[in-house]
Amino acid sequence: MLTLVAFIIALGVLIAVHEYGHYRVAVACGIKVLKFSIGFGKPIYTWRLKGKPTEFSIGMLPLGGYVKMLDEREGPVDAAERHLAFNTQPLKSRAAVVAAGPAANLLLAIMLYSLVNWSGLQEPKAILASPVAGSIAERVGLQGRELVLQAAFDDETFEGVRSFEDLRWRLTQGALNGRDVRLSVTTDFVSSDPPARDVVLKLANLKASDADVQLFRKIGIFSPWTQPVLGEVVAGGAGAKAGLRAGDVVQRVGAMPVVDGQQLREIIRSSTVQTGAQTWQLLRGGQMMDILVTADVLQEGKKSIGRIGAYVGSPPEMVTVRYGALGGLWQGAVRTWEVSALTLKMMGKMVIGQASLKNLSGPLTIADYAGKSASLGWSAYLLFLALISVSLGVLNLLPLPVLDGGHLMYYLWEAVTGRSVSQAWMEGLQRGGVAVLLCMMSVALFNDVTRIFG
C-alpha cells in the first residue's frame, strides 16, 4: 500500500508541476487556456476558478497530463479571440510556453534538493569497506577502514567529502565522464588534522557500460565500512545450526583476517559445496572462541551463493550533512545540473552502444523505489522525487517530435528558415517520434519485469 500511495503522490506532484509550468507561462503570454488536466481519461473531479476561463480536472489515469490552449489548428476560433490563440503568438512566446514544463521540473528538483540540504540528511560516513578482490581500489593499496577526507578529478583542487554518498556520486561522475579520481585518505579517526595519503583511482579507461552495483564492484568501493558483527540469526539456518549468535564479532574465517562486514559477506557468498566447514574465530562477550560453520549453498540463476541465515555487518557510522541557506540552494542547483548532465551523457552512451539499455527504467521500477524511499523517511523520498523530476525534465527536452524538445526543434527550424515546418513533415516526424518513444517504453518495461521478477 505504501508503494502505491508513494508512487501516485510522486506522479501527481511531478505531472502537476510540469503542466503548471506550461499553464503559468501561457497565461503570462496572454494565451487563453481552455483546460488543465492532471491524468487522462474520464475526469473524477473538475473545478473552475472564479473569473477564469480554464477548466481544471483530475483524470482517472494518473500517467500524464495536458494543458489545452485556444488554437486555430484544433478548431474554429472566434475572430475576437484570435489574438488569444497559441498559434498566433510570436515565436519566442510559443517557445517559452513549451520550454516552461521541463524548466518547472528542473526548478522543482533544485527546491527539493535544497530542502534536504537545509534540513540535513543522515548519511553513512565516508569510511571505506575492504575493497573487492582485483578491483581498482585494491590495486592502489586501499585495504578498508580508510576515511576519505577529500576528492578531486584528475589534477583539479581537492574538495571535502561529506559522506559516503557524496563519494559515490563523485565516483559515478568520474566513471561516466572518463576521469580519474584522486582521494585523500587517512586511518587516523582521532586527530583534528590527521595525516593523509593520496591515491588515484584510474577510472578514465573504465568501461562504464552499466551504471549500477557492477560498476562499483569494478572500482572496488560500493559500501561503507561496517563492523564484522552478526545481527539477527535465523532459526534453522546454517549460522544457527553452527551455534552463531547475534552480537558475535568475527575476527577470522579460516586463516583469513576479517576486516569488516563487507569482506565477511563476500567470504560467505563465495562459499561452495567444496569449501565445506570453516573455522570461524569470533569474539563473544569479551572472550575469543572458535566455531565450525558450514554455509548453505543456494542457486541464484547460474551462480552458487553461500548463505548462513544471519544479518552480517553493523549499521554504518552516520554523519549529518547540512548546508546553510545560500549554500543549500547553490548545492541544490549544482546537483540538479550534474544529474541532468549525467542523464544526457548516459542517454547518449546508450544510443551509440557504449552503455547498456538495461539502465532504462520504467513505471514498475519507479514505483518500487518510490515505496522504498518513502519507507526510509521524508528526506529520502524528497531525494527520489528530485531525481525523477530531473529525469522527467531532461527526457521532455529530447528532440523527439512527441515531446516538448521536439516542438522546440520545430521552432528552431522556424527561427533559422523563417517558415514553420510543413504539415506533412510534422505528421511524419510525429509518427517516427511515437515509434521511438514506444520502443523506449517497451525496453524500460521489459527491464522492470526482469529486474523485479527475474
Q: Which domains does the chain have, with CATH numbers?
A: 93-120+324-454 (no CATH), 136-219 (2.30.42.10), 230-312 (2.30.42.10)
Catalytic residues: 19
Residue 406: the pLDDT is: 87
Residue 51: the pLDDT is: 81
Residue 269: the pLDDT is: 86
Residue 213: the pLDDT is: 57
Residue 454: the pLDDT is: 58
C-alpha closest to that of 170 among 161, 432, 130: 161
Residue 252: the pLDDT is: 92
67: left (phi over 0), alpha (psi -120 to 50) or beta: beta
Residue 211: the pLDDT is: 54
- Other Cβ atoms less than 10 A from the Cβ of 306: the count is 20
Residue 126: the pLDDT is: 94
Residue 193: the pLDDT is: 80
- pTM (global) more than 0.85: no
Residue 208: the pLDDT is: 58
Residue 6: the pLDDT is: 87
Q: What is the mean pLDDT of each run of 10 residues along the chain (454 residues)?
A: 84 92 94 91 86 88 86 85 90 94 96 94 91 90 92 90 92 87 89 86 75 76 90 89 92 90 88 82 92 86 83 89 93 92 82 72 77 85 92 89 87 86 76 79 77 67
Residue 63: the pLDDT is: 77
Q: Let me know: does 154 contact 179? Beta carbons within 8 Å.
A: yes
Residue 200: the pLDDT is: 93
Q: Let me know: does 148 contact 126? Beta carbons within 8 Å.
A: yes
10 Å CB burial of residue 438 (0-12, 13-18, 19+) is: exposed
